Every structure is written in C-alpha cells, then in structure tokens.
C-alpha cells in the first residue's frame, strides 16, 4: 500500500478519535496537505507534509508511512515525524496555558456574597 485516504490516515495516526471527526476537520479546512486544503478523500503518501489543527494544537508533520488500521500509540507515532518548530510552538502554547491557570480564575462579576459585602464594608470603614 503506497497511499491511503487522509481521513483514514489521520485517524490511524491518532490525531482524531474517530474517522468522522477527521473528515469533518478536512471539510472545515483545518487540514492542509502540501500547502493546499485537503478533502477527506485525498490520498496521502510518504513524504507529504501536513499541517493539522485540532484540539491538541497545531501540528506540522511529514508523513513517514501510511496505514489504514488504528493501532497502539507507539505504532501511530512511527507514521509521521513532527517538525522541531511545531514542537516548540506547542510547548510554548502549553507553557502559556499553564501560566494562565496558575493565575487563577477570574472572579465572578455578579453580586457580591455576604462575605464579600462584609469585606467591602470593612474596607470602606463602615464596620
């Protein structure tokens, strides 16, 4: 086998949980093959360069092998090679997300609670 449909390959390489999600991503223009938007039925061959956007981030990969069967994650990782720039960008994004989570949640802009109201009154000197 020298080529396979791109939606099957994305599913087998574990970029998407289902083949339907992979086909939907192709239809939405989130998958580019060799610089062009890819349709789900487009064939992928070893050596093709893919740009993939999914909930895990953006990946720039080169296809190393093709497979129609979804296997273990260790096997799926042998199907492609991710570029160093793509890895660095995803690591940077993960670090930014982690920093934002460390800051904490934005307080609720609604009415103050009874405790909040007491703190406000204490701060204003109306104790």
Give domain limits for the chain: 4-104
Question: Could you list the mean pLDDT of each consecutive 10-residue stretch along the chain, which spans 127 residues?
Answer: 92 95 95 94 95 91 94 94 93 89 75 92 88
Q: How high is the pLDDT of residue 40?
A: 94
Q: How high is the pLDDT of residue 57?
A: 87
Q: What is the dihedral of CA 2, 85, 34, 28, to 10 degrees?
A: 100
Contact call for residues 82 and 59 (beta carbons, < 8 A): yes
Question: CA-to-CA distance for 24 and 22, rounded, in angstroms?
Answer: 5
Q: How high is the pLDDT of residue 87?
A: 93
Specify the residue for token string 């460390």.
102
Contact call for residues 6 and 26 (beta carbons, < 8 A): yes
Q: How high is the pLDDT of residue 109?
A: 78
Contact call for residues 68 and 12 (beta carbons, < 8 A): yes
Q: How high is the pLDDT of residue 97?
A: 86
Contact call for residues 61 and 14 (beta carbons, < 8 A): no
Q: From residue 20, give the alpha-carbon distance in Å to each of 59, 79, 100.
A: 19, 20, 32
Contact call for residues 34 and 46 (beta carbons, < 8 A): no
Selecting from 3.30.2320.20, 3.20.20.70, 1.10.8.60, 3.10.290.10, what CATH number does the domain 4-104 have?
3.10.290.10
């Amino acid at each position: 086998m020298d080529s396979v449909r791109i939606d099957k390959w994305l599913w087998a390489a574990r970029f998407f949980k289902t083949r339907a999600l992979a086909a939907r991503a192709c239809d939405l223009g989130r998958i580019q093959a060799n610089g062009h938007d890819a349709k789900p039925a487009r064939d992928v061959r070893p050596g093709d360069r893919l740009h993939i956007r999914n909930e895990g981030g953006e990946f720039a990969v080169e296809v190393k092998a093709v497979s129609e069967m979804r296997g273990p994650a260790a096997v799926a990782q042998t199907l492609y090679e991710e570029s160093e720039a793509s890895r660095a960008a995803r690591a940077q994004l993960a670090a930014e997300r982690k920093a934002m989570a460390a800051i904490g949640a934005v307080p609720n802009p609604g009415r103050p609670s009874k405790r909040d109201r007491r703190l406000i009154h204490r701060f204003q000197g109306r104790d």
